């Protein structure tokens, strides 16, 4: 059988290791076509679980290693001791052309440092970004960077705009994605130099999306644009603030339903609808931080992910590979670099 998507899995990453990663891979396999997994991890732990999933076993190869990266280690220390670890071997499989993409729920910093070092950036891309998809009032929003680059100059922000726009186009199927720059106001004179300079570039160059302008924090969930571009510091704070508010809302709702017998009865009657709503915003459905801009697909699954969440992350990696995301990015970046306006403004 010819496989279209070969995904390397770091089976030892995350809080639960193979006990969630293997079932998640089996579920993802069932929902995709022509996919194969290279599974890196401790045979003694992985094999017994893998044996329970006949179909996955048919489309997977287990590569043994008893070494794993600790989630507590600093990225630099993790990197030094990474040889032969499940995370590193999974990344190397992508580099060696054995796999198209890698998924890990391990140490985020270590994964980023290792992926950058081993896979390298796509030609023309200065720095990779972490991107994720968010639910919005209308449609969905992809936001980047979520923490890989704390500060970003205008050129880097412009490249993120391209990465996000290509994602929205080829993976989400939006013909001309609207791209917005996250700022503190929508007027031209607002914001940092970097963001104003990026606005100037984006309004002049041709890229696979259409530049919408500045947007504000509330636009992320409003669905004003398809792609939100920001530096990694701001993006990370926005992401985690959103998570916090979501959690608080859920807590308030639970408290309200528990506050009286009548409210509890009300909950029981509306339970089906409330559960459907909860499912719609279930963070597990949105799990998977994409490291975009690397020479190979790399997706980070949240460390505390269960099998449902891990499945989402694996499916994201499969989707990126299936839609030829990286080839498309390379072509678009090449186009961008050739545009005189881009060169004159950025001064490459």
- Which residue ranges make up the site for its own copies (CB under 8 A)? 74, 135-137, 147, 150-151, 182, 184, 189, 191-192, 216-222, 230, 232-234, 236-249, 251-253, 255-257, 259-260, 262-274, 276-277, 280-281
Decide whether 117 or 277 has the Cβ nearer to its own copies: 277
Q: What is the DSSP letter of 284?
A: G
Give least dist CB 27 to its own copies, A.
26
Cα–Cα distance measured from residue 137 to residue 145, given in angstroms and rounded to the nearest whole number = 21
Give least dist CB 226 to its own copies, A.
16
Angle among Cα 153, 233, 71 to the nearest 5 degrees reads 125
Cα–Cα distance measured from residue 322 to residue 35, given in angstroms and rounded to the nearest whole number = 10
Decide whether 83 or 271 has the Cβ nearer to its own copies: 271
Decide whether 52 or 249 has the Cβ nearer to its own copies: 249
Sheet hosting strand 227-229, strand order edge to edge: 60-64, 35-41, 5-10, 101-104, 297-300, 289-292, 129-135, 140-144, 227-229, 178-182, 210-215
Q: What is the DSSP letter of 100?
A: S
Give least dist CB 311 to its own copies, A.
23
Give least dist CB 247 to its own copies, A.
7
Cα–Cα distance measured from residue 115 to residue 44, given in angstroms and rounded to the nearest whole number = 27
Residue 215 CB-density burial (10 A; 0-12 exposed, 13-18 middle, 19+ buried) = buried
Decide whether 147 or 288 has the Cβ nearer to its own copies: 147
Decide whether 84 or 139 has the Cβ nearer to its own copies: 139
Decide whether 3 or 257 has the Cβ nearer to its own copies: 257
Give least dist CB 83 to its own copies, A.
24
Decide whether 34 or 74 has the Cβ nearer to its own copies: 74
Decide whether 269 or 331 has the Cβ nearer to its own copies: 269
Give least dist CB 11 to its own copies, A.
26
Is residue 120 classed as helix, strand or coil in its secondary structure?
A: coil
Q: Which has the closest alpha carbon to 296: 32, 38, 43?
A: 38
CA dihedral 239, 240, 241, 244 (to 10 degrees): 130
Give least dist CB 211 to its own copies, A.
19
Cα–Cα distance measured from residue 92 to residue 225, given in angstroms and rounded to the nearest whole number = 36
Give the residue ranges of DSSP H helices in the chain: 18-30, 43-50, 54-58, 75-80, 86-95, 108-119, 154-166, 193-202, 219-222, 232-258, 261-281, 307-322, 325-338, 340-346
Give least dist CB 29 to its own copies, A.
31
Q: What is the total residue count of the chain?
A: 348
């Amino acid at each position: 059988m010819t496989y279209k998507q070969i995904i390397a899995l770091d089976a030892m990453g995350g809080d639960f290791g193979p006990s969630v990663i293997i079932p998640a891979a089996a579920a993802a396999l069932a929902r995709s076509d022509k996919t194969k997994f290279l599974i890196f991890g401790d045979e003694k732990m992985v094999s017994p679980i893998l044996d329970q999933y006949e179909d996955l076993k048919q489309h997977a190869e287990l590569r043994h290693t008893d070494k794993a990266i600790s989630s507590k280690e600093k990225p630099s220390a993790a990197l030094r001791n990474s040889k032969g670890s499940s995370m590193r071997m999974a990344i190397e499989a992508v580099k060696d052309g054995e796999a198209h993409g890698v998924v890990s729920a391990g140490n985020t910093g270590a994964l980023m440092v290792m992926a950058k070092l081993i896979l390298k950036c796509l030609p023309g891309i200065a720095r990779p970004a972490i991107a994720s998809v968010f639910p919005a009032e209308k449609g969905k929003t992809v936001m980047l960077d979520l923490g890989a680059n704390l500060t970003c100059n205008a050129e880097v922000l412009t490249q993120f705009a391209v990465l996000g726009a290509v994602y929205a186009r080829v993976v989400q199927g939006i013909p001309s994605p609207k791209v917005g720059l996250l700022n503190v106001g929508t007027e031209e004179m607002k914001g940092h130099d970097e963001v104003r300079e990026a606005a100037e570039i984006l309004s002049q160059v041709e890229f696979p999306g259409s530049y919408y302008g500045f947007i504000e924090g509330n636009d992320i969930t409003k669905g004003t644009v398809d792609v939100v571009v920001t530096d990694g510091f701001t993006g990370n704070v926005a992401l985690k603030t959103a998570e916090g508010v979501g959690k608080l809302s859920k807590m308030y709702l639970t408290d309200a339903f528990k506050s009286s017998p009548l409210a509890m009865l009300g909950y029981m009657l509306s339970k089906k609808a409330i559960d459907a709503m909860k499912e719609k915003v279930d963070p597990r459905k949105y799990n998977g931080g994409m490291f975009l801009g690397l020479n190979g697909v790399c997706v980070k699954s949240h460390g505390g992910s269960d099998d449902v969440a891990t499945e989402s992350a694996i499916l994201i990696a499969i989707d990126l590979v299936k839609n030829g995301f990286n080839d498309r990015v390379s072509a678009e970046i090449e186009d961008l670099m050739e545009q005189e306006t881009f060169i004159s403004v950025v001064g490459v």
